[in-house]
Amino acid sequence: MRKYKLRKHKIANSLLRNYIFLALTMIFLIIITSFIVSIFAFALYFNTPSSFSVTDASSLMNDDYTKIDYATIENLGGYADVLDKNNNIIYSQGNSPNDKSKYTIEDFNKIILSSSFEVVEDGYIYRSAYNKDKDFLLVVAIPENYDTTIPKHKLTPKIFGVISAFCGLLILALFFIIYSRLSSRNFVKPLSALTEGAKIFAKGDYSARINISSNNEFGELRDAFNTMAEKIQKETTLREESEEARRRLILDISHDLKNPLSSILGYSNLLLSEEVTPEESSKYLEIINNNSERANELIQDLFDFSKLQSTDFKLTLEDTDICEFLREAIAFYIPEIEEKEFLYDFDIDDDSFFIPMDKKHLWRALSNLINNSLKYNPKGTFIKISGNKINHSFKIVIEDTGIGIPKDLQTEIFHPFVRVDDSRNSKSGGSGLGLAIAKNIIEKHGGIIELLSEKDLGCKFIIFLYKDNT
């Protein structure tokens, strides 16, 4: 049965969390807002005075008695009278039970203490206050059993609505600011870091990396970006290096071909001048021949090296006994070794050891190493070739006690056109490609080659080849 892997939608989960948080907070805020608005409305508008002293006449006093706020008294079912110094009622508001125009002595007796205390008489609570400046007396009366449900102030639905909406909006605005900050931390921040990184990268700075700590899809995007950036940076460096190597190669080739070609040109011009003796002519011809050979060798090596470097190049592998192969190579070189008066020793395993190899190319690699020993070292040099099985690998060592290669060139010597000493080589005519070709062939076989060497102490080339080189 096919199994479906559950994908983790981390951003979706995070959004869900935010939405739940938003919804819960909204509910909470609505409750809090309603509560605050209710308390506010109740405190301001529904608070009923516990006693009439709240509507103390002196607290209502105004020099212009027509502008006094009589609304509360009227709402409580009471009334107010304004008296002049002769006790005439000069102004009256509310539901007065009598229609007199003047207060009598009797009336005064009843409310005589009302300027200091509440006086209850005839079913009314009286309070009074005297305005010294305008010389009038304000008498207010409210029914003894006034209706406590009547609001102190009038709360219109419009005012209540405006206050509630204002409080609600204020709290919501605060909440949205906090919520947007929260969202920004989770989404906007990684997004802007990603955009910033991509912009720097687009400008050609391939060292740009994104550094965000998200472990959701943004984190995956960061990892993908950083991996891509790393690959592109590596490839760019490689491309620059190979471009540099190509430039150096062209320079080296033209430099190495220049000498034999100008010599060929010079001596052939001399031959054409018709003023040469037969002895000079044969000498010049020999020089031309030598230089042509040298140029030809160089071009041949270059051709072989380029072929090995090409992506189309394939070895023709066949399982071969490497011990037998080495014995054949040694047998081939013994006459030349002896002719050059070298001392020698060979140590090849007696047992067979089969590895997949391209005989032609491996022969070329080993010949380059043996030829170098014979070419660059004086007679009397000791050369040793050994081949031994080590577990699943086969170790070949070609060493000599000759002039050696300086330690600092041990790695570089395998690069094309690298030579120890140009004057020495110009005599022996090396192309500087022999070791580069040998290394390429060994590596194409899945093996490794390294050099242990020191100036004047000889060279030791160590090769490892493996049974499984695919």
Contact residues: ligand ADP, CB under 6 A: 368, 372-373, 376-377, 400, 402-403, 405, 413, 419-420, 425, 430-436, 459
* Contact in structure between 103 and 93 (CB atoms under 8 Å): no
Please report how close the Cβ of residue 360 comes to ligand ADP at its closest, in angstroms.
18
Please report how close the Cβ of residue 251 comes to ligand ADP at its closest, in angstroms.
17
Quick one: 78 or 430, whose CB is closer to ligand ADP?
A: 430
Quick one: 357 or 405, whose CB is closer to ligand ADP?
A: 405
Quick one: 310 or 423, whose CB is closer to ligand ADP?
A: 423
Region of residue 404 (left: phi > 0; alpha: psi -120 to 50; beta: else)? left
Please report how close the Cβ of residue 420 comes to ligand ADP at its closest, in angstroms.
4
- Edge-to-edge, what's the strand order for the sheet holding 343-348? 343-348, 382-390, 393-400, 459-466, 448-453
Give the other-Cβ count within 10 Å of 157's Cβ: 7
Quick one: 229 or 298, whose CB is closer to ligand ADP?
A: 298
C-alpha distance from residue 19 to each of 15, 179, 337 (Å) = 6, 10, 87
Give the other-Cβ count within 10 Å of 227's Cβ: 10
Please report how close the Cβ of residue 404 comes to ligand ADP at its closest, in angstroms.
6
Give the tokens for residue 470: 């695919």
Quick one: 138 or 413, whose CB is closer to ligand ADP?
A: 413
Please report how close the Cβ of residue 423 comes to ligand ADP at its closest, in angstroms.
10
Please report how close the Cβ of residue 460 comes to ligand ADP at its closest, in angstroms.
9
Please report how close the Cβ of residue 329 comes to ligand ADP at its closest, in angstroms.
16
Please report how close the Cβ of residue 366 comes to ligand ADP at its closest, in angstroms.
12
Please report how close the Cβ of residue 459 comes to ligand ADP at its closest, in angstroms.
4
Quick one: 75 or 425, whose CB is closer to ligand ADP?
A: 425
Quick one: 155 or 448, whose CB is closer to ligand ADP?
A: 448
Phi (first) and psi of residue 449, to 5 degrees: -135, 135
CA distance 315 to 308: 9
Give the other-Cβ count within 10 Å of 282's Cβ: 10
C-alpha distance from residue 207 to each of 164, 244, 267 (Å) = 57, 21, 56
Residues shown for the chain: 470
Quick one: 295 or 413, whose CB is closer to ligand ADP?
A: 413
Q: Which residues contact 8 (CB under 8 A, 6 or more apart)?
A: none
Quick one: 201 or 417, whose CB is closer to ligand ADP?
A: 417
Sign of CA dihedral 93, 96, 101, 105: negative
Please report how close the Cβ of residue 456 comes to ligand ADP at its closest, in angstroms.
10
144-150 contacts, C-beta under 8 A, 24 or more apart: 144/120, 146/52, 146/76, 146/77, 146/78, 147/76, 147/77, 148/48, 149/48, 150/48, 150/75, 150/76
* Contact in structure between 433 and 301 (CB atoms under 8 Å): yes
The residue number whose beta carbon is nearest to ligand ADP equals 430
Quick one: 386 or 425, whose CB is closer to ligand ADP?
A: 425
Q: What is the 3-state secondary structure (H, E, C) of 355-394?
A: EEECHHHHHHHHHHHHHHHHHHCCCCCEEEEEEEEECCEE
